[in-house]
Amino acid sequence: MKYSNSGSKGLRIMKIITINLPEKYLQAIQVLNDMGIYPSRSEAIRNALHDFLSKELKMYNDLDDENFKILIRSKKNILNQ
């Protein structure tokens, strides 16, 4: 498990995942890393996911961890009906 201080809500536990990316995406992320825009490819991907989730789930930034878990459980219950 990794921990990060990034974000407005303090220390976060990070999970490691494996993803498949087109080579072009990976090369673009590496260029950003090489230019020093992001300290790592992981940070670039985290930032991109944060922006995506902020747009797709408009209320995402306003939810604390517990309320976000409730939202996820509610969605699972709806899908299982």
Domain ranges in the chain? 2-79
Q: How far apart are CA 15 and CA 35, in angstroms?
A: 26
Residue 77 pLDDT? 67
pTM (2 decimals)?
A: 0.61
pLDDT tens figures, 9-68:
555 788 999 999 999 999 999 999 999 999 999 999 999 998 888 887 766 666 677 777
DSSP lists the bridge partners of residue 2 as 14
Contact criterion met (CB below 8 Å) for 1 and 15: yes
Structure-model confidence comparison of residues 47 and 2, the more confident one: 47
Contact criterion met (CB below 8 Å) for 31 and 25: no
**pLDDT at 1 > cutoff 80:** no
Among residues 56, 40, 52, the alpha carbon closest in space to that of 6 is found at 40
Residue 3 pLDDT? 41
